[in-house]
Amino acid sequence: MSIQVYNTLSRQKEPFQPLNGNDVNMYVCGPTVYNFFHIGNARPFVVFDQVRRYLQYRGYNVKYVMNFTDVDDKIIKRGLEEGISPQEVADKYVEAFFTDVEALHVTRADLYPRVTEEMSEIIAMIAELIETGHAYESGGDVYFSEQTFADYGKLSKQTMENLVAGARVDVNDKKKAPADFALWKAAKPGEIAWPSPWGEGRPGWHIECSAMIRKHLGEQIDIHGGGVDLTFPHHENEIAQSESCTHKPLAKYWMHNEFVNLNNEKMSKSTGNFFTTRELLEKYEGGVLRFLLLSAHYRNPVNFSEELVENAQNGLDRIRSSYANLTHRLETAVDGDADKVDVEQFRGQFTAAMDDDFNTADGITAIFELVSDANKYLRQETVERGALQAYLTILEELMGVLAVPLAAEEADLDAEVEALIAERTEARKSKNWARADEIRDQLTAMGIVLEDTPQGIRWRRK
Neighbours of 87 (CB within 10 A): 14
Q: Which of 128, 129, 135, 127 is nearest to 174 (CA)?
A: 135
Residue 238 assigned as binding residue: yes
Q: Tell whether residue 234 is among the known ligand binding residues.
A: yes
**CB neighbours (10 Å) of residue 193?**
16
Q: Are 281 and 289 in contact (CB under 8 A)?
A: yes
Q: Is 209 annotated as a binding residue?
A: yes
Distance of CA 369 to the CA centre of its chain: 25
- 169 closest CA partner among 182, 155, 188, 157: 182
SS3 182: strand
Q: In whole angstroms, give the CA distance from residue 336 to residue 383.
A: 9
CA distance 69 to 230: 14
Separation of alpha carbons 151 and 97, rounded Å: 36
Residues 6+ apart with CB under 8 A from 152: 146, 160, 236, 240
Nearest CA to 53 out of 354, 302, 268 is that of 354
Angle at 100 between CA 94 and CA 106, to 5 degrees: 100
Q: Which amino acid does the sequence have at 133?
A: G
> By CB neighbour count within 10 A (0-12 exposed, 13-18 middle, 19+ buried), where does 433 fall?
exposed
Other beta carbons within 10 angstroms of residue 160's beta carbon come to 14
Pairing relationship of beta strands 181-186 and 201-203 according to DSSP bridges: antiparallel
Which residues are annotated as part of the binding site for Zn(2+)? 29, 209, 234, 238
Which residues are annotated as part of the binding site for ATP? 269
Which residues are annotated as part of the binding site? 29, 209, 234, 238, 269
